[in-house]
Structure 1
Amino acid sequence: MKTNTIPQNEIICVIIYTFIAFLLMAFVLILFFYFSRIKIVKNEIEKRYLESKHQKSLLHSIITTQEDERKRIAQDLHDDISSKLNIVSLNSHLLLTPDLSQKEITEITNNIINLTKKTLDNSRRIAHDLLPPVLEKFGLDAGVKELCLEFNSSKSVSVKYENLISFNDDNNDEQRHLHVFRILQELMNNSLRHGKASSISILFENEDGINYCKYSDNGIGFDTTKSCNKKGLGMKNIESRVSFLNGVLHINSEINKGTQIIFNF
Structure 2
Amino acid sequence: MSGNLDYEKEIVAIILYTSCFLMVVAVCLVVFFYFSRKKIIQKEIEKRELEIHLHKQQLHAIIVTQEEERKRIAQDLHDDISSKLNIVSLNTHLLSAPNLTEDETKEITDNIINLTAKALENSRKIAHNLLPPVFEKFGLNAGIEELCEEFESSKSVKVKYKSEIDFDEKEIDRHLHVFRILQELMNNSLNHGKASEIWINFKNQNGINICNYKDNGVGFDSKNAENQKGLGMKNIDSRISFLNGTLEIDSEIGKGIAVIFSF
Q: How does the TM-score come out when normalised to structure 2?
A: 0.84
* 2:102 paired with 1:102: yes
Letter in 2 for 1:205: K
Letter in 2 for 1:161: Y
Matching residue of 1:179: 177
CA distance in 2, matches of 1:49, 1:58: 14
Kept in 2, the 8 Å contact 1:164–1:206? The answer is yes
Q: Secondary structure at the match of 1:251?
A: strand
Kept in 2, the 8 Å contact 1:223–1:255? The answer is yes
CA distance in 1, matches of 2:234, 2:30: 45
Matching residue of 1:26: 26
Matching residue of 1:13: 13
Structure 2, unaligned stretches of length 5 or more? none
Query: Displacement of 1:164 after TM fit?
Result: 1.9
Letter in 1 for 2:78: H
CA distance in 2, matches of 1:66, 1:237: 9
Letter in 2 for 1:203: N
Q: 1:194 to 1:106 in 2, by over 3 A?
A: closer
Segment drifting more, 156-165 vs 117-126: 156-165
Kept in 2, the 8 Å contact 1:221–1:259? The answer is no
Q: CA RMSD in A?
A: 2.8
Q: 2:250 aligns with which of 238, 250, 253?
A: 253
Matching residue of 2:261: 262
CA distance in 2, matches of 1:236, 1:45: 28
Q: 1:260 to 1:91 in 2, by over 3 A?
A: closer
Structure 1, unaligned stretches of length 5 or more? none
Kept in 2, the 8 Å contact 1:223–1:229? The answer is yes
Q: Secondary structure at the match of 1:7?
A: helix
Kept in 1, the 8 Å contact 2:222–2:228? The answer is no
TM-superposition CA deviations, 1:166-204 (whole Å, max 9, x none)? 335x4x333222222112112223444555655432112
**4+ aligned runs moved over 6 Å, structure 1:** none
Kept in 2, the 8 Å contact 1:140–1:181? The answer is yes
Matches within 5 A, 1:211-250: 211-218=209-216, 220=219, 222-223=221-222, 233-245=231-243, 247-250=244-247
Q: 1:94 to 1:250 in 2, by over 3 A?
A: closer
Q: 1:148 to 1:24 in 2, by over 3 A?
A: same
Aligned length: 258
CA distance in 2, matches of 1:97, 1:49: 70
Identity percentage of aligned residues: 60
Matches within 5 A, 1:31-46: 31-46=31-46
